[in-house]
C-alpha cells in the first residue's frame, strides 16, 4: 500500500535560499528515529543530512555527477517539486532467512532543475526505513539530456561526525577476498594491500573501501554503508578522506573506455544505503537491502530447493586430487594423450561416493568441480578464451551415469562452471551450458570468475562485469537454473527480484584455510563477516571442516576455529545452499558431530539475532520452515567468553529436545580444536542456558519439537 501526498510544492528561487536551512525538507522513518534533511545551498548544490535519535550521523553531504563531454550536474539547481509518501507492505521470500518481510518506509522525492541553461532535470529519491536510509538518483526523460550519457564520476558523499571504529576491506576493483581490518576511520590505509600473494587479481587505485563497510560509534550507534539493486551500473567503492572523516563514492572503472558508466536517459542509479541501528544484532536483522529491490520478476521458483550439499571440492584445495585430468590441447582440441596423472578428482566413482554419503545424511546435493575439459589451462594462463567449454566431460566422468545414480538416491548434482573470467567464451555458451543442465534436471550452478577479466582492461566490479553477472543469472532463470557465483559481483539484494540468485562468495571463504600463505582466516574473521559482508546477502562460505589441522595434507595450513564453531556456522552464516565441505572419510570418522549437519535446516521462517558485537561474537537463532524446529549457532573471535542464552523465541507450551554441541573444557582453536562436548537436554521457552565458547570457538544447538 502506497499512500502518496504532496507536502510541498515549492519553487525555491536561487536567491531565496541564502539561508541554507530555511527551506529544508525533512522526512522521517515510520518510527521517527531516523530523519533525512535535504536542501540546496547558495550555489544551488544539493545536499542531505541524516539524523538518528536527533543526533546528526551524516552531516552536510553533497550529491552530483560528472560526465564526459557535457557539464557536471551538481550545482545551479532549484527545487521544482517535492512529494512524500508512506509505504507499508509485507512480501514473502520464496526461500530465505525469514518468510515474511515488512517493507515499511517514508519516501521523499525531490525534483531538481538547473536554473540556467542547459536546465537539465535530476530527481533524488530518499526512502527512510526504521533500519536505515536508501537514496538514488533518477534521470527522467527530458529534451536537454538525451540518449546516452557517459558518467565519469558520481559524487555522493557521506560526511561523518565521528572517528568511528571501522570494519573494512580495501576498495579493490577486482576482488573482495581480503581480510577485514579494524581501525578508526581516520586510520584507513587501503593502499598497503595493493599487492597480495594469495589473490589471483587485485587492483586498489585509491585509499577507498569496498562495501558493506560497518562502523561503530562511541555512543553505540552502528552504521553500515552499501548499495542496493546494482543493475547496469558500476560497483561503488567509497573513497576515504581520513582527515575530514568523509566517504565519497568512487565508481569502478575500465581501462577500455574513458567513462565509468554508460546509460541511456531515462534511468535510475542503484540505491546508496546507510543501515543505522543502536546495536549490532539489529544490523544483521535489517532487511533494508532486499527491501530496496524490485519485487520478484521470476514468479514461481519452487524448482529450486534450498539444500545442503557435499562435493568434489575440498580435496582439490587440500591437494589430495586435482581439477585437471592431464590432457593436452593440440590444434585447439583437448586430447587425451594417455598420459593422465591419475589424480583427477571428478571421477564417476568418486562422485558416487559423495552421492551415497549425502543420501545417508539428509544432504540434497553434490557439487562436482573439475568435470569438464580445460583445467590444464586455468590459473596463470593469459589466453583463456576458448579454453573451457561447459558440455565436454573428461574421459573418466560419466555424466549420464552420475545423474542417473543421483536420481536413484534422491541427490541432485550441482553443476560447476569455472569461466576463468573469460567472459566472451562464457557468454557465447550460456544457452548451451544451461540447456545441458536442463536436460539433466540440474537446477543449481556454482560459477567462478577466477583471474583477470578478459577482455583485458575490465575489472570484476565495473559496469561491464555487473552486466555479465546479471545477464548470466537472468538467462539461467529461463532454464530453471539457480546461480551461486564465486568471484562474484557484490550482493545488493537482487535475489528479491531474481530469486534464482541464491548465494555467492565475495569474501575470503573457507578455501583460504587450505592454502593461504598468511595462515588462513583468523578467528575474528567470521565475527566480522556476520556484520559486514553478510548484510549484503547469502554467503557460500562452505563450512563444516572436521579435520581442522589436516596435517596429512598440509602441515602449514589449518582451519582457525574449533570443531564446534564449524557446526555453528550452518546457522550463523546464511545461505540457501550450505556445503558440508569436508571429505567423506573425515565425516564418517566423526558421526556424533555429523548429526548436527544432518539435522540442521537450510530454509528459515524466522531469524533472531540473540546477541553480538561486531568483530567479537554473535549468536543467531533460526526457525526452520515446515518443521518449526529451531537451530542456534554462536561463534567467538580469538577470545573465550561465556554467553547467557534465553529461549523466549520458542513456541509457548512446547518442549524441545535439544542437542547441544559445544566446545569442550580444553577446546582452543589452535591448541585443541577437536575438543567438543555433546549433550541432550529438554528446553522450553522459559529455559536459560549458560554456554562457554573457547578461543576461536562456538556452539550449535538443534531444538526439535517433542
Stretch that binds Ca ion, among 54-62, 344-352, 482-490, 539-547 (CB under 5 A): 482-490
Name which of 486 and 496 has its Cβ closer to Ca ion.
486
3-state secondary structure at position 468: helix
Name which of 131 and 369 has its Cβ closer to Ca ion.
369
3-state secondary structure at position 269: coil
Query: Dihedrals φ, ψ of 250, to 5°?
Result: -140, 105
User: Residue 416 is inside which H or E element, if any?
Assistant: strand 412-418
Residue 154: contacted member of Ca ion, ligand NOJ, none (CB under 5 to 8 Å, by partner type): none
Binding region for ligand NOJ (CB under 6 A): 313, 369, 418, 448, 450, 486, 505, 509, 511
Task: Quote the cell numbers at residue 685.
Answer: 521457552
Residue 313: contacted member of Ca ion, ligand NOJ, none (CB under 5 to 8 Å, by partner type): ligand NOJ
Q: Which residue has the cell 555527477?
A: 65
- Cα–Cα distance measured from residue 120 to residue 322, given in angstroms and rounded to the nearest whole number: 58
- Cα–Cα distance measured from residue 361 to residue 303, given in angstroms and rounded to the nearest whole number: 22
Name which of 436 and 450 has its Cβ closer to ligand NOJ.
450
Stretch that binds Ca ion, among 192-200, 307-315, 478-486, 587-595 (CB under 5 A): 478-486
Nearest distance from C-beta of residue 286 to Ca ion, angstroms: 26
Residue 107: contacted member of ligand NOJ, Ca ion, none (CB under 5 to 8 Å, by partner type): none
Nearest distance from C-beta of residue 486 to ligand NOJ, angstroms: 4
| Catalytic-role residue among 511, 524, 605, 624 | 511
Nearest distance from C-beta of residue 341 to ligand NOJ, angstroms: 18
Cβ contact 234:463 at 8 Å: yes
The verdict on whether 227 is a catalytic residue reads no
Name which of 137 and 375 has its Cβ closer to ligand NOJ.
375
Q: What residue spans of 189-342 are helical by DSSP H?
A: 280-285, 288-291, 314-318
- Contacts (Cβ under 8 Å, ≥6 apart) of 483: 444, 445, 447, 472, 473, 476, 500, 501, 502
Name which of 154 and 418 has its Cβ closer to ligand NOJ.
418
Q: What residue spans of 361-422 are helical by DSSP H?
A: 399-409
Nearest distance from C-beta of residue 484 to Ca ion, angstroms: 12
Nearest distance from C-beta of residue 201 to Ca ion, angstroms: 11
Residue 384: contacted member of ligand NOJ, Ca ion, none (CB under 5 to 8 Å, by partner type): none
DSSP state of 558: -
Residue among 281, 286, 280, 213 nearest 248 (CA):
213
Nearest distance from C-beta of residue 487 to ligand NOJ, angstroms: 6
Name which of 104 and 322 has its Cβ closer to ligand NOJ.
322
- Cα–Cα distance measured from residue 630 to residue 570, given in angstroms and rounded to the nearest whole number: 12
DSSP state of 490: P
550-530-194 Cα angle (round to 5): 75
Counting residues that bind Ca ion (by CB under 5 A) gives: 1
487 dihedral zone (left: phi>0; alpha: psi -120 to 50; beta): left
Name which of 176 and 459 has its Cβ closer to ligand NOJ.
176
Residue 418: contacted member of ligand NOJ, Ca ion, none (CB under 5 to 8 Å, by partner type): ligand NOJ
3-state secondary structure 57-125: EEEEEEEEEEECCCCCECCCEEEEEEEEEEEEEEEECCCCCCCEEEEEEEEEEEEEEECCCCCCEEEEE
Name which of 253 and 506 has its Cβ closer to ligand NOJ.
506
493 dihedral zone (left: phi>0; alpha: psi -120 to 50; beta): left
Name which of 105 and 375 has its Cβ closer to Ca ion.
375
Nearest distance from C-beta of residue 647 to ligand NOJ, angstroms: 36
Nearest distance from C-beta of residue 505 to Ca ion, angstroms: 5
Nearest distance from C-beta of residue 238 to ligand NOJ, angstroms: 25
CA atoms within 13 Å, Cβ hemisphere of 369: 20
- Cα–Cα distance measured from residue 424 to residue 499, given in angstroms and rounded to the nearest whole number: 25
Residue 223 pairs in a beta bridge with 215, 276
- Cα–Cα distance measured from residue 434 to residue 411, given in angstroms and rounded to the nearest whole number: 19
370 dihedral zone (left: phi>0; alpha: psi -120 to 50; beta): left
- Enumerate binding residues for Ca ion (CB under 5 A): 486
List, by residue number, the catalytic residues. 511
Amino acid at each position: 500500500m502506497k499512500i502518496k501526498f504532496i507536502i510541498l510544492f515549492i519553487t525555491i528561487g536561487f536567491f531565496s535560499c541564502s539561508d541554507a536551512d530555511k527551506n529544508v525538507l525533512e522526512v522521517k522513518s515510520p518510527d521517527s528515529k531516523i530523519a533525512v534533511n535535504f536542501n540546496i545551498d547558495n550555489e544551488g548544490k544539493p545536499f542531505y543530512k541524516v539524523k538518528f535519535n536527533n543526533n546528526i550521523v551524516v552531516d552536510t553531504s553533497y550529491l552530483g555527477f560528472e560526465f564526459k563531454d557535457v557539464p557536471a550536474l551538481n550545482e545551479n539547481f532549484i527545487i521544482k517539486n517535492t512529494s512524500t509518501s508512506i509505504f507499508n507492505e509485507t512480501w514473502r521470500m520464496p526461500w530465505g532467512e525469514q518468510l515474511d518481510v515488512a517493507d515499511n518506509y517514508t519516501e521523499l522525492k525531490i525534483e531538481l532543475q538547473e536554473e540556467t541553461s542547459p536546465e537539465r532535470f535530476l530527481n533524488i529519491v530518499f526512502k527512510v526505513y526504521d533500519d536505515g536510509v536508501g537514496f538514488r538518483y533518477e534521470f527522467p526523460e527530458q529534451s536537454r539530456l538525451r540518449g546516452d550519457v557517459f558518467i565519469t564520476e558520481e559524487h555522493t558523499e557521506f560526511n561523518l561526525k565521528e572517528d568511528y571504529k571501522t570494519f573494512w576491506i580495501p576498495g579493490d576493483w577486482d576482488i573482495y577476498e581480503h581480510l577485514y581490518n579494524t581501525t578508526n576511520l581516520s586510520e584507513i590505509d587501503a593502499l598497503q594491500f595493493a599487492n597480495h600473494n594469495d589473490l589471483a587479481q587485485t587492483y586498489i587505485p585509491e585509499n577507498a573501501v569496498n562495501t558493506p563497510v560497518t562502523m561503530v560509534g562511541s555512543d553505540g550507534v552502528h552504521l553500515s554503508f552499501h548499495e542496493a539493486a546494482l543493475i547496469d551500473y558500476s560497483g561503488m567503492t567509497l573513497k576515504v578522506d581520513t582527515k575530514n572523516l568523509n566517504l565519497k563514492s568512487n565508481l569502478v572503472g575500465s581501462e577500455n573506455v574513458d567513462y565509468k558508466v554508460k546509460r541511456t536517459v531515462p534511468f535510475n542509479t542503484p540505491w546508496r544505503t546507510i543501515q543505522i541501528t543502536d546495536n549490532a544484532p539489529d544490523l544483521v536483522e535489517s532487511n533494508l537491502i532486499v527491501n530496496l529491490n524490485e519485487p520478484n520478476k521470476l514468479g514461481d521458483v519452487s524448482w529450486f530447493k534450498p539444500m545442503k550439499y557435499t562435493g568434489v571440492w575440498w580435496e582439490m584445495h587440500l591437494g589430495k586430487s586435482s581439477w585437471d585430468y592431464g590432457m593436452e590441447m593440440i590444434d585447439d582440441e583437448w586430447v587425451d594423450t594417455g598420459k593422465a596423472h591419475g589424480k583427477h578428482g571428478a571421477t564417476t566413482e568418486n562422485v558416487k561416493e559423495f552421492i551415497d554419503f549425502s543420501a545417508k545424511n539428509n544432504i540434497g546435493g553434490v557439487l562436482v568441480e573439475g568435470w569438464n575439459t580445460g583445467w590444464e589451462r586455468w590459473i596463470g594462463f593469459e589466453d583463456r578464451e576458448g579454453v573451457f567449454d561447459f558440455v565436454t566431460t573428461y574421459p573418466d566422468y560419466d555424466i549420464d551415469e552420475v545423474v542417473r545414480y543421483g536420481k536413484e538416491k534422491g541427490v541432485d548434482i550441482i553443476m560447476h562452471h569455472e569461466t576463468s573470467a573469460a567472459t566472451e567464451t562464457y557468454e557465447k555458451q550460456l544457452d548451451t551450458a544451461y540447456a545441458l543442465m536442463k536436460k539433466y534436471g540440474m537446477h543449481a550452478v556454482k560459477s567462478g570468475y577466477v583471474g583477470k577479466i578478459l577482455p583485458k582492461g575490465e575489472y570484476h566490479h565495473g559496469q561491464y562485469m555487473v552486466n555479465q553477472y546479471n545477464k548470466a543469472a537472468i538467462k539461467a532463470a529461463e532454464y530453471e537454473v539457480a546461480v551461486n557465483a564465486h568471484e562474484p559481483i557484490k550482493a545488493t539484494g537482487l535475489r528479491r527480484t531474481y530469486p534464482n540468485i541464491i548465494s555467492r562468495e565475495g569474501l575470503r571463504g573457507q578455501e583460504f584455510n587450505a592454502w593461504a600463505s598468511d595462515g588462513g582466516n583468523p578467528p575474528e574473521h567470521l565475527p566480522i563477516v556476520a556484520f559486514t559482508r553478510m548484510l549484503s546477502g547469502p554467503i557460500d562460505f562452505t563450512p563444516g571442516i572436521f579435520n581442522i589441522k589436516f596435517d596429512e595434507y598440509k602441515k602449514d595450513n589449518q582451519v582457525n576455529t574449533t570443531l564446534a564453531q564449524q557446526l555453528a556456522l550452518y546457522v550463523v552464516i546464511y545461505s540457501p545452499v550450505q556445503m558440508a565441505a569436508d571429505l567423506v572419510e573425515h565425516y564418517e570418522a566423526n558421526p556424533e558431530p555429523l548429526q548436527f549437519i544432518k539435522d540442521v535446516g537450510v530454509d528459515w521462517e524466522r531469524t533472531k539475532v540473540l546477541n553480538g558485537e561486531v568483530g567479537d561474537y554473535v549468536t543467531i537463532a533460526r526457525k526452520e520452515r515446515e518443521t518449526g524446529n529451531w537451530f542456534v549457532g554462536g561463534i567467538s573471535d580469538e577470545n573465550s567468553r561465556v554467553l547467557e542464552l534465553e529461549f523466549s523465541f520458542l513456541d509457548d507450551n512446547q518442549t524441545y529436545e535439544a542437542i547441544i554441541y559445544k566446545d569442550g573444557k580444553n577446546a582452543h582453536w589452535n591448541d585443541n580444536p577437536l575438543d567438543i562436548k555433546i549433550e541432550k537436554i529438554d528446553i522450553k521457552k522459559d529455559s536459560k542456558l549458560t554456554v562457554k565458547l573457547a578461543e576461536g570457538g562456538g556452539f550449535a544447538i538443534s531444538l526439535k519439537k517433542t
